[in-house]
Structure formats: C-alpha cells, structure tokens
A and B are shown apart, each in its own frame.
Chain A
Amino acid sequence: MILSNLFKKKYKAAFILIVFAFLFESNNSVLASEYAFSKIPYELLENANSVYRVNNKEIIIDGPASFTIKREIAVTVLNENGENSGKIAIHYDDNSRARFRSGEIYDGNGNRITRIRRRDLTDRSNISDFSLYEDSRILKYVPRISSYPYTVRYEYEVSYSRGLFHAIFFYPARHFNASAQKASLQISYPSEHKISYKEFNLEDDAYEKQIGGNEKQIKWDFKNIEAVRSEYLSPKIYNLAPAVIFASKEFEFEGYLGRGNSWKDFGKWIWSMNQGRQKLPENRVNYLKEKASQYEDDRKKVKSIYKYLQSRTRYVNISLGIGGMQPVDAKTVDQNNYGDCKALCNYMMAMLKAVGIDSYYTLIKAGVGEYDFFENITVSQFNHVILCVPLQNDTIWLECTNQHIPFGYIGSMNDNRPVLIIKEDGGHLDKTPAFKPKENIQNINATIKLDKQGHGKASINMDFGGMYLSRLIPGLRMSENDRKRWLYRNFSFPNYTIEKHNVSIAEGSSPVASLEMDISLRSFANKTNQRLFIKPNLVSANRSSPPRNRNRNNPFELKFENSFSDTINIVIPQGYIIESSPPDYSFKSKFGEYNSQIITKENKVLYIRNFESHNGYFSADKYHDYYNFYQKINRVDNQNIVFRKE
C-alpha cells in the first residue's frame, strides 16, 4: 500500500516535470529573442541607463479590506549607472504577504544566463534611518553581472489584508534616465467599489483604455516611452512624462472603514481612528491648568505648553501595524515621553484641550519644496502630521517633533503647501503659510581691519531667517568647543582662526537666528611687493555655480524666494592708493535682482551687495539665461580690489 502510493507520487512528479520542462523550453525560445538588446528601438536608448522592456502593474481590489498588486518587470540594464533598475526590491509588512513568482537574467542576445529563485532573495527588515522600529520588510535581490547589457525579468505579487488608503503612482518608465518599451497599469474592482484617478501627459495614441466584464476593469497600455534625463532643478517626473495616479475610494484598516469620496470623508476616517486617544492623567491636567492660568492671552498659553512639550518629549519613530496610521494614545506618551509625529501631535492636542484650547491634527506632506498636491485624489498623499491651533486673530502651526525650533516655526519642511485639517465633521483643506522673500533672509554685516602685513581682524554678524534659520539650529545648543568645530566645518574662509563666537535666536512672528563671530584672517589681503589684493565679498561670494547643461531638455523650477544682503567695512593700512576697483553692478532677470557697490574713501572700503532671487517654473530654453545669470553673479562676487603703494 505504502509502496504503491509512493510510486504514484513519483510518477506524477515526473510527469509534471516533463510538462514543465516542455513549457519552459518552448517559452524560452520565444523569450530569448524577445529580450535581445537589438530589439530595443533606437529612440529608447537615448538618455537611458536602463530600458523597461515590460513594466506591468495589476491592482486587484477585492473590497474595502483587501487588495493585491501583481508586477511583471523586465528591465535591460545598459550600463553601470542603470544597475539600480536591475535590483529587485519587494516591500511588504505585517499586513501583507509577498510572493515571488519567477525570475531570470538574460544576456545581451536575450539568452538566459540564470534563474532567480525565491531562495536567492534576501529577506530583511526595512527600517528608515529616522526610525527605531517599523514592521516594514523587504525582499531583495541584486544581480551581479559584469558585462552590459543584461536583462532582469521577474514577477511577484503582494496581497494586502488592509484597504488601499493611499494614492498609487504609476510611471511607465518608473524613474529618470529610463525608458519603457511596453508598460501597463490595470485595475480590477467590484462593480460597487469606487475609484478615482488622474492622468498626466497622456497622448491619445500612447494608451488604450478597456472597460468591461462583470467586475469593472480599467487598463492603460503604454508603448515606447522615451527616457527623461535627470537634470538640475527638474520638476517631478509626472510633469515631464506619462503617469497615472490612482486611488481607491473605500478602504478599511483594522476595523476602521473609510471613504475617500471627498476630503471630508477621508478626514472623518482619520478622526475615527484618533477618537478617544486624548485622555491625560489627572495630575497632568491639573499641572497644565495651573501653568496656563499664569497667562491671559491664548497665544501665550499655547506657547508655554509648546515649550513644555519641547522640554519633556522627544521624537522617536516606532510604527507598527495600525500604529502606522493611528497615534499612540496621550496617556502612554505622557508616561514614556517619546513618540512619533502622530503621537506627539495628538499629545499636544490633548494638552491644549486640557486648558480649553481647541487644536487640530493636520496631515501634511513634509519635505523641502514638496509643494505638489492633487486635490482630486482624496486619499492619503501625506507623510507627516503637524498641529493647527486656530486662535482668534491668527492661526498657529506647530511642528511637534523638534525640540529646538522657535514656537510657531514650521520651517521649509512644512511651509507653503496644502494640508488636511482633521475635525469631527471631517477633513478641511487649508494651506500652511509661505515664507515671504523678506523672511527668507541671510544678512551679513562685517568689519575687517587690516594690519601692515595684510592680515585681518574681522567681526561678523550674520542673521538667518525663514528657511535659513534652521541652519543655525544645531549651533544653538552646542558647547563652545563643539560649536567652534562646527563653524570651522561650515565656513571656508581662506585662512582663518575663530576667536569669539556666539549663536542666538530672536523669537517672534518671523524669528531670526544670529551668529556673531570674531575671526582673524591670515593674509586676507594678498600682498605683493607693491600691491594689496582684496576680495571684499568675504562671506557670500558664490563659489559654486549651477551646471551648464550644454543640452538642456527639461523645464526647471525655482521654488523659493530669498533675499541676501551684505554690508562689509574694510579698513586697509595707510600708505596705499587704489589702483583698480570693480565698477558698481546692477542687473536683473526673471530669476532675480543683483546689486553690488564698492565705495572707497582714503583707507576705508565699503562693500554693499543685495541679491534677491525669484521663484517660478521655466521652460528649458530659459535655462541658459539662468546659468548665465549665476555665472555673472559669480564673476562679480569674486572680483578683487587692488591697492598700490603710494
């Protein structure tokens, strides 16, 4: 009995093997030619380090609480810089399961070199640098092939036991410097399920939509998408190449059902998860009440509690399961005194509530210059939480994860962008304040006295405001010695020694951080037998310039408006007369305005420089003007004044 069963099993296995071998053989001969390098259209090689021969994404939504993403990718790596495209990285977490289906590597002729099996992939935790713990994991494979081109083809799927509550971006060519020969995005979902999407740069002949079946289905097919070169100041890739953003309008996460029909709906979902998590222990409530009672003014109350938050808590990112969406309750934070952005905001909100001030949990996409937002995609496009405190006369925005910033300062990570304020009746779109050009400042005042040898003693005062304020924040809390090392690292005056230094901050509606520094400058004036050479622009002389980009392809985006001003007084030794001095300069362009002036009187030189930069979105043909504008500033900034012995 046992024996015969065994024989049966063996026989069956052998049969399957034969069938499989047959399938593989026939498949292979087809695939082999398919991935040959020679089959890539010439125009797809331009600006490309890799070519996606196939980039298929299939999203299957089973209902609000689960979905699956299937991927098939075949990518030809053309050179060393394209190697990253050939790496396999499959992300998953506690709420999802990843299955690697199959993989192969082909040489330039399209012949298979090797198979990639599940056991060849390494399974690692994937915790971001700023996190102490997350449940995110990654299945990884790095091909080690020494000759180009080669093609990596693989299929995998990840099934999620939660709803799809964030937007999914699809780019046929995936990233800069890559092209796509064939790509598709297909989404299937039950007829009653609602979805939304937004298309970018789709030309009619480039895609095809099919809608049909019992289940609803929508599909985009892409063919021959050329590579977009990665260039300095390039806008995001969806501004330059075809792309689709997709969102599901219904999603469930650990029992919390949400709808994304509108921002109101989405906000309600967040509200439901946060509800009842603001309870504080009684002694804390009493303490806060007593603290707040010292002030009449609500603004001052908020400030005192914010300072208390800054002094008591610290930012530690631990995100687990639902913790990735739901804040740790205020009581736990009160005990541990640490938390992630959600926990700390929720805690701050609870503390304000204890003293009778309403504030709102606010979702935001943090990051310098991350201003893009898709208003009609009403699901999570966010990665951070800040707190909005509406007071009678003004609204205060609080970044709760930083212990060092001034009250009300949200910095360039959070400025000038749409946010979603979460209230009981749902989400409300609003916008964080932008730094005005006169707030993004870097003002320099210096006096330099030269001795006979040309050595200088300088006292410099620098004020930084707006987005630049954060530059000085590290220096604020350093010991004298550490700060000196830090300053030495950050300033590259020719030959200098720091003698005295101090960093301070003036809080207020637009706070300013100041650095005062006394330095001695060895040979500030380069001395020859007959002459003194002086570069008056000590601090803000531009030493680097934007790349020339001989063949600029992409438009460019200048996101910030700034003002820089320098006033420098130089006293030179007696016995010299001026031989040559740069003229005054004053020029402007779409990109900014620049003025510089040198006034010499006997042995005194006054150097004044003002530079304001503008923001805007410019087409590629303007790039050359932009480059020239900065080249000119550079040249003017680095000019010498020459004195000769009398």
Chain B
Amino acid sequence: MHIKYFNYAVLLLVFSLFIGCKSQDASMRLRNVDDKYVKMTHYENDSTAKALILGDQGVSEIRYHNVDGFQNRFTRHLRVKIFDKDAFDIADFRIPLYGRGGRGERIINVTGYTYTEDNGNITRTRLRRRDQHEEVVSENLRTVNFTMPNIQEGSVFELEYTIISNFLYTLPSWYFQSEYPTVFSQYRIPIPEYFNYNPLVQGFHNLDSHESSRSRRRITFEWEEETFFGEVERYSHTVNYYENITSYRMDSIPGFKREPYMNSMINYLSKIDHELVSFRPPYSAATDYSSTWPQLTNRLLESDGFGKQLQNSDFLSDEIEKLASDYADPKERMVAAFELIQDKMTWNKKNSIYVSESLEKAWKDKQGNASDINLMLTMLLKELDIEAHPLLISTRNHGIINPAQVMLRNFNYVVTYAMIDDEVYLMDATENNNPYYLLPGRCINGNGRLISKNKSKWVELDASQDNNIHTKSQLNIKPCGSIQANLIRTKKDYPRLAKTNQINDYGSKDDYLDSFESDNTGVEVISFETKNMENWSKPLIINYELKIDELDTTPKEVLYINPMLIDQIESNPFRIEKRQFPVDFVFPYKRNYSTIIEIPEGYAVEELPDNAHFYIGDRDVKYVSSFNESKDNNIEVNIDFEINKALFTPQEYNDLKEFYSNVVEEQARNIVLKKL
C-alpha cells in the first residue's frame, strides 16, 4: 500500500474526537484549579511534605496516522502544589525525546500555568514558548527544558504536554510514585485490538483500581495512485476495530525516601511498563514479539544482533586453533580463552544485550559493549568444544529481574555461562582485572536468563564465593604503651578484587599508604608488601609492618591495649530507627582476626575483656571474640565477624542494627596490663 497524501479534514476530526473524549472522563481539566488548592497550607496525610502531587494523569493511546502509520500519543497532565521552597526544583522539567529526524519523537501542546496567591488575589501565569529550550543532548536524544514561571511557596502549577512517538515496542513508563506524596495518579491506555501489550507492575504499593473496557473505532486509509495514463486517482478504505482501554490508578501514595545500603531505587518505586507481545494488523497475520520464554529465546537466537553472531567464527580461527592445540584440559582452555578476550578487548562502558554492529567488527576494533565481549567469549568457548551459552542479566542500577515478567527490556547485559563436568562458570570479560570466576559487582543482581535452544533456565547470580579476609597479627608492646605490629592479611575473591582495584587506583605505593594511614589514624606504616597481586590462583597476601607511637614515652604503671589496630568499627552504620527497604550488602563475607600480643617484660595481665558471642537468625550474621592468656606470656585474641547473607529484609533491620551496636561496643574493648 502506497500512501502519499493524507487528508487534513480526517486528521482534524480524529484530533477533535481525541480532545473531546479525553476531557470527558478526566478528573482534572486545564485552567480549572480550585482556589482551595492554592490556599492549602499543608497536606493532611503528611504535614511535613514540601510538595504534593495533586494529580498526575497520563493517557497513552495508539492511533493510525495516514502518513506515519500507527503512532503512540502520550499525554500527561500533572498538577502540583508546592509548600516549601526546598521543593522548587519539582517545577524544573527536562522532557526527553528519543530518536532523530522524521522518525524521532515530537512534543506538542506544552501548556502550563502557575497559580499563585498575591495579596489575596490568585494570579495565573502562563508558561511561555520562549522560556522552553530544546537541548540536543546527543545524536538520539533531545530534551525540552523549562521551569514553571512565578513559583512561590504555596503555588500550584499544572502542566500538560503530548509526545508523539512512532516507537511502539514499549509504551511510556508510568511512575505512580515520586519523592513527594501523591493524591492520585492514573494511567489510561486505549489501544487498538491489533496490539497486545504485556503490563508489568512493580513497587511496594498496590493499585487502587485496574479497569478495562472496549469501544468501537474506525480507521480510514487514504492514498492516491498514478494510473497508466498519468491521472491521479484517490482511494480510501475504512476499517472498523475495537479499542481496548485499560486504566490504572493509585491513590494517596506516600513520598519515596532513599536509604543507605540499598539496591537501586528503581526496584522499589511503584511504576508500570508495557512491552509489545504481538501485533496483528488488519487483514494480516500476527507477528509474535514476546509471550513465552521459549519464544523469546528463539527470537533472540535468530536475531542478527544476538544469536546469528554466534554462528560466524571465521575471524577468530587463528585463535581457536592456537587455544585448541595449546590447552588439552578443557578448564585450562576455558580460562585461556577468557583471558584472551579479556586482554584483547576493551569494554566501551556500554551495557547492552545486543552487539553494537557485529562480533567481527568488534574484534577488529578491539573494543565493544558488554554483549560484544561476552558473546564473543561464548562463541569462542563453543568453538573450543566447551558448553557455553549467553546469560541475559540486568545490572544493579537497571533493576532486579522479575522471572514472572517475560520482557526483554528488563535485561541490559550479557555474561557467559559455561559448564565443564557439571561445574558451572559465570564469566564476564569486560573488566581487565577480575579473574574468570568473579562477575563484577554490578552483575550481582537476582537471576539471569540462560539463552539456549534446549537448556534455557534461570540462573542465580550470587556472589557467595570465598569472600574471606584473614588478618594474622603479632603485637609488640613497649612499656610506654607504643606498639609495633606485624600484620599479614589474606584476602580472597570479592574483598580481594576490591583491594587490588584500590591499590591499582592509587598512582603509587606511597599514595596508597597515605590513604591507609588516613583511614587508620595514628598508625604509621613502616613497610608494606603485597604478594600475588596478579596471580589469582593464590589469595592476595599483604604484609604490613606498623607502629603506633605513644605521645608520652615514659614507662606506665598501667597499659591499655585495643587489639583492633585497623578495621575497628567505631560507629554503627545503621542509625535510623525504621527501615522501609531491604539492606543489601551485595555479597556475604567473613573476617577473621587472630592476634598475638606479647606482654612486655615486667608487666602482667590485669584485666581481659570477656569473651563475646552473638549472632542473629540462623547465623546470618555472627560475632565471636575470645581473649586468652597463653603460657608463654602472650595474649591470644581471636575475632570472627561474619555477614553470611547479602540481603536483609526491613523486618530483620532492627536485629541487624542491634548486632552492629554490639560489634561497636565489643571492638572498643581494651586489655589492661599492669606493672609488676
């Protein structure tokens, strides 16, 4: 079908219909703000709120346009009350528009008013066109920036705009919740029966209403064609269809507050998304987009940007041949392949499930996104006769995967899944300093989806490796109280990765020691040595020789010694009384300190701290300390501190807080020695 012209009259008709029907069932109308909202001094449900969303309603509808085809028209009408100047930035807008040129999104009908009480009169100030600025952020993104005029404490403003988009694979996300409380938030989605979307609702608050209805509509297709004799003939055809209308609503939604040690807030905000499942245009067969995991897997495996890439390995043939001949043992071969990709390829810091162009191009450029690098690794392993599959995941700042939602857009990253003799390896070759068996911290987020013809499944991304830090120290005490100490710290897996990165990030050893001393005030490093920095087959060993000098160097009658020279937890990180969201440590870990204190000649133990032992739940966290005097005039101190799971629910928060209080208290304990 060739469509050359469209009929303005029809468009106008559709348009007026659209306006008409919108105002009919809307609960807010432009320029119709009740004075009581302007005079309102506080919000009853939350008197501390600095602003209040009086109403936020969105309509996302799909209509047929004679030139552009089906389009999404997203209209938002927002009304906000501002109580306090600290909330003024809620009046700043940066509305994103994706795509460029004719196919890019357009914004129309930006209308805004601010209502402010001025000496008893309510004035209405209009948002002017010339105060709106379009910013070309990058090739594919523009934003329309403006701030509402005449914003005062007490002002109410309302804003309406429409974004027209040709992008139909997903519908605009709708957030029911914001930093400020909301009176009501409503999202209405009228969609032709040809489209089938899968809704995804998330957040801690439930929908107050969820309604569906249908109405009849029609599309008139119009086009002109040149006949054989050079005349132009006009054609038109009308199709009747049903429009499915879904409406979601939430009322009295509290404001959202961030908390420390929590995963990305997008996991907890109440919002709704839609992803296209299938599209069946009139008189045509349906195209299936995504409805079941097997379908989604098949589509991915057949797509040019994903599965097809795994089929061309010619450009790697030299490497494949070399690896295959150099390494007979499959595991050694796998590790060598991982290190090859890690070494040759540089990550461009972009997350994606699709390759940027092709694996061959990425290999040629020696750089690529996460998909380029890890699909390449997957392919390489397959060619080396190692079972390997891509694993789709969502990184921590992209939100956690809900396995019940069959939606591709929830994923933003690919890692490699390999299996040798029933042993599973999850690998990411993007970073240049992690070993094959550790995924970077950003990847540790719920479950990933294995993409394979017949082995698709969920794979848990946990980081409960051997995250141990062992600190063995020997303390030599001088009669004046000065301490000389030798510490040997052994670190594995994630804590080790963090440490190697930290040491490497400092330009020099001296810079690292400066920061170490600043973190552990009073401690002076005499010597420092690392072992196995690069050798991941062995744990990282750091040897510190330290001294802590006493100001007054005369011998003392009584000596007080805290065996926690470094790492002492001096303050409870959990201070607020109540917690709304889970505490997320990312990975579980264990710390052990075994310390030998040499009692100086002429002194004896006067008092040792009591041994302590406490934990919560089924040893989810644990603290054990013991102080013993040995026969050879030494004191042996042993401390175990364990966080045995990564995620703690808000219900467990109080116990966790109490646990840390006890740890702070225990770690402040002193040993008392007395002169004989």
Interface residues of A (CB under 8 A from B): 49, 79-81, 114, 122-125, 127, 132-133, 137, 142, 144-146, 177, 311-312, 314, 316, 318, 320, 335-338, 403-404, 477-482, 484-485, 488-489, 492-497, 522-523, 526, 528-531, 533, 542-551, 579-580, 583, 631-632, 634-636, 638, 640, 642
Contact = CB atoms under 8 A, between A and B. Distances in A.
Interface in B313-348: 343-348
Given A125-B136, A318-B147, 13 more contacts: A80-B504, A125-B138, A132-B146, A133-B135, A523-B665, A544-B519, A545-B521, A546-B518, A547-B511, A547-B518, A548-B513, A579-B558, A580-B556
A337 B152 contact: yes
A545 B517 contact: yes
B626 interface: no
A124 B518 CA distance: 39
A528 B521 contact: no
A642 B560 contact: yes
Name, among A337, A485, A544, the residue most crowded by chain B CB atoms within 10 Å (CB to CB). A337
Contacts, number: 174
Given A533-B670, A547-B517, A634-B522, A580 B664 contact: no
Contacts of B560: 533, 580, 640, 642
B665 A528 contact: no
A515 B133 CA distance: 42
A528 B669 contact: yes
A286 to B, nearest CB: 12
B92 A316 contact: yes
Contact of B345 (A146, A479, A496): A146
A480 B661 contact: no
A335 B118 CA distance: 12
21 contacts: A125-B138, A132-B92, A314-B151, A320-B133, A335-B125, A336-B149, A337-B152, A404-B85, A493-B571, A494-B571, A496-B575, A522-B661, A528-B669, A529-B607, A530-B607, A531-B672, A543-B521, A544-B521, A545-B517, A546-B518, A580-B560
Interface string B663-676: 01100111010000
Contacts of A482: 48
B544 interface: no
A403 B150 contact: no
A318 B521 contact: no
Interface in B106-153: 125, 131, 133, 135-139, 145-147, 149-153
Contacts of A312: 152
Contacts of A550: 510, 513-514
Contact of B85 (A314, A580, A636): A314
Contact of A146 (B94, B137, B343, B576): B343
Contact of A638 (B138, B521, B577): B521
A583 B552 contact: yes
B282 interface: no
B23 interface: no
B432 interface: yes
Contact of B609 (A123, A528, A545): A528
A494 B521 contact: no
Contact of B607 (A146, A531, A632, A636): A531
Contacts of B304: none
Contact of B570 (A479, A494, A632): A494
Given A526-B665, A545-B518, A133 B149 contact: no
A495 B125 CA distance: 51
A69 B137 CA distance: 25
Nearest to B47: A479
B607 A144 contact: no
Nearest to A315: B88
Contact of B521 (A142, A314, A531, A542): A542
Contacts of B147: 132, 316, 318, 338
Contact of B576 (A488, A495, A533): A488
Given A335-B150, A338-B151, A81 B665 contact: no
B367 interface: yes
A480 B48 contact: yes
B86 interface: yes
B102 interface: no
B664 A632 contact: no
Nearest to B259: A485
B551 A403 contact: no
Interface of B: 48, 50, 84-86, 88, 92, 94, 125, 131, 133, 135-139, 145-147, 149-153, 257, 260, 343-348, 365-367, 432, 504-505, 507, 510-511, 513-515, 517-519, 521-522, 524, 551-552, 556-558, 560, 570-572, 575-577, 606-607, 609-610, 661, 664-665, 668-670, 672
B151 A526 contact: no
Nearest to B609: A528
A127 B92 CA distance: 15
Closest 9 CB pairs of A and B: A479-B48, A547-B514, A488-B575, A492-B571, A144-B367, A336-B149, A144-B346, A133-B133, A146-B346
B518 A311 contact: no
A493 B572 CA distance: 8
B656 to A, nearest CB: 14
Nearest to A474: B86
Nearest to B145: A133
Given A494-B668, A529-B607, A533-B668, A338 B149 contact: yes
A281 to B, nearest CB: 12
Nearest to B525: A548
A530 B138 CA distance: 69
B607 A638 contact: no
Given A314-B85, A631-B522, A528 B672 contact: yes
Nearest to A404: B85
Contact of A337 (B145, B149, B432, B518): B149
B145 A132 contact: yes
A484 B570 CA distance: 20
Nearest to A147: B343
B308 to A, nearest CB: 25
B673 to A, nearest CB: 12
Name, among B365, B556, B668, the residue most crowded by chain A CB atoms within 10 Å (CB to CB). B668
Contacts of B153: 311
A127 B522 contact: no
A316 to B, nearest CB: 5
Contacts of A79: 507
A167 B606 CA distance: 70
A337 B150 contact: yes
Given A320-B133, A550-B513, A337 B670 contact: no
A477 B131 CA distance: 29
Contacts of A495: 571-572, 661, 664-665
A591 to B, nearest CB: 17
B570 A124 contact: no
Contacts of B522: 631, 634-635, 638
Nearest to B137: A125
A493 B94 CA distance: 40
B45 to A, nearest CB: 14
A636 B138 contact: no
Contacts of A546: 518
A131 to B, nearest CB: 9
B518 A544 contact: yes
A533 B139 CA distance: 64
Given A124-B138, A494-B572, A640-B560, A529 B149 contact: no
Given A146-B366, A146-B432, A579-B558, A403 B514 contact: no
B563 to A, nearest CB: 13
Given A337-B150, A480-B48, A492 B668 contact: no
Contacts of B145: 132-133, 318
A271 B54 CA distance: 45
Contacts of B668: 494, 523, 526, 533
A632 B549 CA distance: 10
B348 A144 contact: yes
B62 to A, nearest CB: 31
A583 to B, nearest CB: 7
A477 B50 CA distance: 10
